[in-house]
Copies of this chain bind each other. A is one copy, B any other.
Amino acid sequence: MAKTVSEGIGKFYQHYPRVAVVVTAHAEGRNNAMAAAWHTFISISPPLYGVSIAPERFTYQLIVDSKEFGVNFLPFEAAELIASVGSSHGQEVDKFQRFNIARDKSVKTAVPILKAAYAAYECRLIDDRSYGDHRLLVGEIVAVHWLKDVFTPEEVLDLDKVSPALYMGHELYLTASKDSVRSLDREVYGKR
């Protein structure tokens, strides 16, 4: 099958599923939460995490004011929660109150940690940089909250215990296929 080549980019950002996270922030007595699909680890030591956010978002303002943000990884059962915070405006409404979002206590920062999350990071902002129509926020992970019981002894997510929420674009949510997992030993495959 031959590929099409486009210079016009189209909806290129829907080319594959991504983990849907909820980014949280707190400043001057106000909390907010937003859905984000553009995020990645950047460094192991120190542990750095990056999130791309449009600067007009209320969450962006809270993060810049407080120099802190939270990243919350949610199970597929919480997809409605992700859709809810992704489609309402924190400037106008307290999403935590409106959607009755339960929280755990944060330990190193004041960012909201979602009780529904199977893992969540508290991050201290170390960089905020303009790229095109977004800002890339880079934070150092200063605390990790996680449901130890849903991870294997190797600290891999145990898909028999939790189904992670993924986002396909176009308001479509899905999860990973636990029956498809294959272990490919790099020592074997790198030496074929």
Contact = CB atoms under 8 A, between A and B. Distances in A.
Interface of A: 1, 3-7, 9-19, 37-48, 50, 52, 73, 76, 79-80, 82-84, 86-88, 98-99, 104, 107-108, 113, 117-121, 127, 129, 131-134, 136, 138, 141-149, 151, 154-157, 159, 163-164, 166, 168-178, 180-187, 189-192
Across the A-B interface, give the 6 residue pairs with the lowest CB-CB distance, nearest first.
A43-B132, A87-B190, A87-B186, A83-B189, A11-B155, A83-B184
A42 B48 contact: no
A28 to B, nearest CB: 24
Contacts of A166: 17, 176
Contact of A144 (B10, B48, B127, B191): B10
A5 B129 CA distance: 29
22 contacts: A1-B149, A9-B47, A9-B141, A10-B155, A11-B156, A12-B119, A16-B157, A38-B40, A40-B40, A40-B50, A42-B131, A46-B132, A47-B132, A48-B134, A50-B50, A83-B185, A84-B190, A87-B186, A168-B181, A171-B184, A174-B176, A174-B177
